[in-house]
Amino acid sequence: MTDPYDRPPADAADGAGRRPLQVETHGLDVIGDAERKGTPRTLFWPWFGANVSILGLSYGAFALGFGISFWQALAAGAIGIVFSFLLCGFVAVAGKRGSAPTMVLSRAAYGVRGNRLPSVVSWVLTVGWETVLIALATMATATVFDRLGPGGGTGTEVVALVVVGALTVGGGVMGFDLIMRLQTLITVVTGVLTVVYIVLVADHIHWDTVRAIPAGSAEEFIGALVFMMTGFGLGWVNAAADYSRYLPRNSSSRGVVAWTTFGSSLAPLLLLVFGLLLAGSSEGLSKAVAADPIGALTTILPTWFLAPFAVVAVLGLVGGAVLDIYSSGLALLSAGLRIPRYLAAGVDGVLMLAGSVYIVFYADDFLGQFMGFLTTLGVPIAAWCGIMLADIALRRRDYDEGDLYRPRGRYGDVPPAPLLLTLAATAAGWGLVTNTAAGWLNWQGYLLGPLGLGGRSGDWAYANLGVLVALALGFLGALLPGRTRVREQETRTPSGASAEEALRS
């Protein structure tokens, strides 16, 4: 069998300067100079396409569900979206400096084999996200067909799940080039149809009703803010360098940060505003979104636009799921599984479909389970993100490619400090989050009482401070003592070994 980490020679480009579409054979290897292409501006397309989903409208109902006013929800959403995607932009800088997947570059902070712990968490998070998105696309399709007359029901859901799943797995298996072209198409089609949707339902907005929503407490505002962070940028930080790794090394770091942040934040911000206006105008619509976040949005549409709506809903969700399944495959490889990348994407696809079947056909409370999933995995990912950002901030040189793959290299094998810090930050974070709608998470929130925050039923119970605490502990805990470690690493003589040589040693 061919080594899944081999780097193939660059393929000949077509007349438009693009390589012919084929299954990407890159795995965890470093992208060679001959295959690096594009500018930071090209990052706009995959990030916009992955976040232009009509699901962004539903976040308006989610935010107001915390018991806050329109203006509070708008502020919480704007801050949470931009700040969390800014974190993605900073992590993306590591991609162009190291030209390897995010969870390989993370080895500089965690060690070559010590990095398997955050890789497993990253894998679970991305598989969970792609599962949620495919389930939503399936339910939305069934809802549309039900409103059109004949159709809907279990049969339609099965067909929709197969079609949407096939599109997602196919994109993940094919890899980078197809994803970049697909995201450009999704951006254009979904963007246009979303604008049409907004025009068609604009008369359902009642500003007097929206304005009359009472303000909530500071704790409720923080809860909405953290939910927005975990629902948007913190769900992507562990994959942020997977696309910037194809950029030339001399690409502008500021450009990478700016275009990643701008491309990923633009659509969610616009959709959030309109979603808040819709949900704030109708309590019935707001409650319906909790059960079927996409399908509920069809209830205010004219019948003739239902089919186009199905297109915009499915394409937007598939756009995010494709990026997730691509990155989940890379995370699975980084966790230690030695198979080709495209097979790893296929494995994740099977798990994704199994999870989608559970959500579509068996789960009773989508929103409760969804919020529990986000906050629970958001805590360790926030801890990892803090440590990763501190490591990136301390480095002044590009990564040593060979040592990213060698346990005896400068980055070490299983250094205890970052692992213990991650566990401590996660334990502290889980002690400060709650989700009563998901019974399997009742054990969380164990620090709310001892710290005088009112316990699991107090005012701070739903603020989900644990995500912010884990992020801060990870960053400060790695930044303060990490300067000496990074300087020692960067003063060592370059290994001179390529990634392939290190993998075979």
When mean pLDDT is compared across 125-134, 168-177, 356-365, 483-492, the lowest value belongs to: 168-177
CA 210 to chain centre: 30
User: What is the predicted pLDDT for the residue at 497?
Assistant: 57
- Give a yes or no: residue 13 inside a domain: no
Mean of the pLDDT values across residues 213-238? 93
Residue 10's pLDDT band, with cuts at 50, 70 and 90, is very low
Which residue stretches of 282-400 are H helix? 283-291, 306-334, 341-361, 366-394
Give the CATH number for residue 275.
Answer: 1.10.4160.10
- Give a yes or no: residue 22 inside a domain: no
Range 356-372 burial, b when 16+ CB lie within 10 A, else e: bbebbeeeeebbbbbbb
Residue 280's pLDDT band, with cuts at 50, 70 and 90, is very high
Hey, what's the torsion of the CAs at 149, 151, 157, 161, to 10 degrees?
-100
When mean pLDDT is compared across 229-238, 308-317, 360-369, the lowest value belongs to: 360-369
Q: Which run of H or of E encompasses 289?
A: helix 283-291
The whole-chain average pLDDT of the chain stands at: 85
Residue 447's pLDDT band, with cuts at 50, 70 and 90, is very high
When divided into structural domains, the chain yields a total of 1
- Give a yes or no: residue 428 inside a domain: yes
CB atoms closer than 10 angstroms to residue 33: 10
Cα–Cα distance list, 418 to 69, 320, 472 (Å): 40, 30, 14
Mean of the pLDDT values across residues 359-382? 79
User: What is the predicted pLDDT for the residue at 11?
Assistant: 41
- Give a yes or no: residue 5 inside a domain: no
**Residue 56, both tokens:** 């962004």
Burial of 269 (0-12, 13-18, 19+ CB in 10 A): middle
- Give a yes or no: residue 24 inside a domain: no
The percent of residues above 70 in pLDDT, for the chain, comes to 90
Is residue 120 pLDDT above 90, yes or no?
Answer: yes
Mean of the pLDDT values across residues 458-485? 93
pLDDT digits (tens, 9 = 90+) for 322-331: 888 888 888 8
Mean of the pLDDT values across residues 164-186? 76
**Residue 5, both tokens:** 């980490």
Is residue 314 pLDDT above 70, yes or no?
Answer: yes
Residue 394's pLDDT band, with cuts at 50, 70 and 90, is very high
DSSP three-state, residue 449: coil
Mean of the pLDDT values across residues 276-298? 86
Across 165-174, 352-361, 420-429, the highest mean pLDDT is recorded for 420-429
Q: What gap in Å lies between CA 449 and CA 432, rounded to an integer?
A: 9
- Give a yes or no: residue 3 inside a domain: no
Residue 32's pLDDT band, with cuts at 50, 70 and 90, is confident
Mean of the pLDDT values across residues 256-278? 95
Q: Which of 105, 7, 88 is nearest to 43 (CA)?
A: 88
The pTM (predicted TM-score) of the whole model is: 0.85
Is residue 127 pLDDT above 60, yes or no?
Answer: yes
- Give a yes or no: residue 357 inside a domain: yes
Mean of the pLDDT values across residues 347-366? 83
Amino acid identity of residue 424, one-letter, is A
Mean of the pLDDT values across residues 426-455? 89
User: What is the predicted pLDDT for the residue at 387?
Assistant: 97
Residues 402 and 495 sit within 8 Å (Cβ to Cβ)? yes
Is residue 8 pLDDT above 80, yes or no?
Answer: no
- What domain range includes position 393? 33-504
Residue 68's pLDDT band, with cuts at 50, 70 and 90, is very high
